Chain A
């Protein structure tokens, strides 16, 4: 199935779509994945495994609701632990999707087309994981679920809008909705394709409903394109705002290590960084398993790698800045924070983070790494680990030692913390593979525009 990647001669960039593709071949190859009768073995295996992890997640959450957040490692002073770390990590991952589809679209980066669809899916599923944590990390989720939203009630009490946590609620839920709409309307024409290429009436009916009767009329396309462009225009500031708001959850506080003005850009860069790492972690196996090398070419991998390199450097700069500001302020608490990062009980994690997020990714300067899928895959894994550690360092190491020495404390995570974290990965994978099986993982109609025949000759 897998066609080997052929490196083009030096100086020539690989194409963004393999040679010899026609409207028909594109349609059949991509729609084929969905409409085929026989399900590939690896799909069954992965889904089974992911489902098991999902089961573990459900168990852990049920126990959590039954017993209370005490089953986690959190304590006073470290009131936030794995839950918030995971939340920020997942929401960060959830950024690449919209970024790719929206910002690259505005910049007319045609190479986005073959990866935007599943990048968007990835976003939605990642945000679903992220959204889980802020809810279950509260002491009384059943109340948080409705007191955090401005719902009329008999108490005459409303949310407290000065709290960054409320901003968070709005930002994340908006982000989820918008990404979902964006993804959804992108799918309509492809559903139409599936409707028309499906064999059995049932399948055609199902996709028919989803396609809402799309028929490719010029007037429709015209409005469709406008709406799509505008959505992209809206999603761009949104995607930037979401992680900025997330970063405000910390920046607004007084905690040394949180209370910093450069958190928003720093967090956004980090988010894109991990987002692209996740895209690669998904794209590389996908193109291999489904033989999609013609659609997701080395060009895509290389570009993603470059974006990672760029954002990675921004993140590195932020780390430097954090340390510098700590020193420059000469504020005793900031200095202590820096010192704690470097020599505190958790300094090991800090050095690991430097290794994963700064040192190892430097290998992306090498063309050989950028052009070798399995190497990229490894780097991507390292980066995502590093990004998780970054959040751990920010959340735990800052809270662990703040102002009054007598209340300094330690944090140990429990098996429940782990189960829930791993569980969400399973849930994510599960959703993603189901998506691949049931929906076109690559935007068919946009792929069509990439081939020569698509142009109107005068």
Chain B
């Protein structure tokens, strides 16, 4: 009888089995990466905006406090996007006819809102509340990153659930004194420079975090990882 396969078929057959296995695991790995990729999360991507507003210029450059524009951040779930009026407070005097600001002026005259594109956008079934975080010593920085170094606003973190859990499980890793919440230059305590709270100085974030957690009466991690904390 004649062979129905060539010698090479053997190698081929075994190689193909190996190949399938490798391929599948590769696809799996790729998907894992994909769902965390900026393409999906929009992390580090600055979207088009009607006006190229620079937080760097306003916050770092001019030293405006976050709350000058985001007025309701301390007492509402929503931090607040400044009304056109707020822009005009200054821009009625300076840069009065900078072409860049045309949309702002138009909005003010026509009464039509500026249409910003949302940068930090959580799914609708997630109920995030700014005020409680701010009031418990979670700095703007912890979620929004070095905003005062962003010429154009972008999303610093993925805002995915696993990311939220990082902090809800161990808040002490991120807590800072309330008065430092809006301080973009604040540094976590280190041997190099200590942080003073109630006359006691801390050199490790862990120590400080534990202390603050006590001080601000944070709920237990078990509490704040209950589903209904964020979902209703």
Contact = CB atoms under 8 A, between A and B. Distances in A.
| A in complex with B | yes
A208 interface: yes
B38 to A, nearest CB: 13
B35 interface: yes
Contacts of A204: 4
Contacts of B162: 154-156
Contacts of B13: 209, 212-213
B68 interface: no
Interface in B5-21: 5, 10, 13
A153 interface: yes
Contact of A195 (B4, B35, B36, B161): B4
Interface string B157-189: 010111001000000000000000000000000
B161 A205 contact: no
B161 A157 contact: yes
A154 B4 CA distance: 50
Contacts of B62: none
B4 A153 contact: no
A6 interface: no
Contacts of A366: none
Nearest to A208: B4
A201 B3 CA distance: 10
Contacts of A157: 161
Contacts of A4: none
Interface residues of A, number: 15
Interface string A152-177: 11111100000000000000000000
A155 B160 CA distance: 7
Nearest to A153: B35
Interface string A185-202: 000000000011000010
A152 B161 contact: no
A196 B4 CA distance: 10
A213 B17 CA distance: 15
A37 B36 CA distance: 55
Contacts of A201: 4
Contacts of B5: 205, 208, 213
Q: How large is the interface on B (under 10, 10 to 19, 20 to 34, 35 or more residues)?
A: 10 to 19
A154 B165 contact: no
B36 to A, nearest CB: 6
A154 B37 CA distance: 11
Nearest to A157: B161
Interface string B121-165: 000000000000000000000000000000000000010111001
A213 B4 CA distance: 10
Nearest to A195: B4
Nearest to B160: A154
Interface in A200-239: 201, 204-205, 208-209, 212-213
B90 interface: no
B121 to A, nearest CB: 15
Given A157-B161, A212-B13, A152 B4 contact: no
A393 B161 CA distance: 43
B32 interface: yes
A196 B1 CA distance: 10
Nearest to A156: B162
Contacts of B4: 195, 201, 204-205, 208
A449 to B, nearest CB: 25
Contact of B161 (A154, A208, A209, A213): A154
B112 to A, nearest CB: 37
B227 to A, nearest CB: 9
Contacts of A155: 160-162
A152 B160 contact: no
Contact of B36 (A154, A205, A209, A212): A154
Contacts of A208: 4-5
A208 B36 CA distance: 44
Nearest to B161: A155
Contacts of A196: 1
A153 B163 CA distance: 12
A85 to B, nearest CB: 32
Contact of B32 (A152, A195, A209, A213): A152
Interface in B95-121: none
A208 B3 CA distance: 10
A205 B1 CA distance: 14
A156 B32 contact: no
Contacts of A209: 13
A204 B36 CA distance: 48
A205 B162 CA distance: 51
A204 B1 CA distance: 12
B205 to A, nearest CB: 23
A185 B93 CA distance: 85
A153 B31 CA distance: 10
A208 B5 CA distance: 8
B126 to A, nearest CB: 11
Contacts of B36: 154
A196 B162 CA distance: 57
A156 B35 contact: no
B37 to A, nearest CB: 11
Nearest to B227: A157
A153 to B, nearest CB: 7
B158 A156 contact: no
Contacts of A212: 13
A153 B36 CA distance: 9
Contacts of B35: 153-154
Contacts of A205: 4-5
Scoring A156, A195, A204 by chain B CB atoms within 10 A of each residue's CB, the highest score goes to A156
Given A155-B160, A155-B162, A156-B161, 16 more contacts: A152-B32, A153-B35, A154-B35, A154-B36, A154-B158, A154-B160, A154-B161, A156-B162, A157-B161, A196-B1, A204-B4, A208-B4, A208-B5, A209-B13, A212-B13, A213-B13
23 contacts: A152-B32, A153-B35, A154-B35, A154-B36, A154-B158, A154-B160, A154-B161, A154-B162, A155-B160, A155-B162, A156-B161, A156-B162, A157-B161, A195-B4, A196-B1, A204-B4, A205-B4, A205-B5, A209-B13, A212-B13, A213-B5, A213-B10, A213-B13
The 4 closest A-B pairs by CB, nearest first: A156-B162, A154-B160, A155-B161, A208-B4
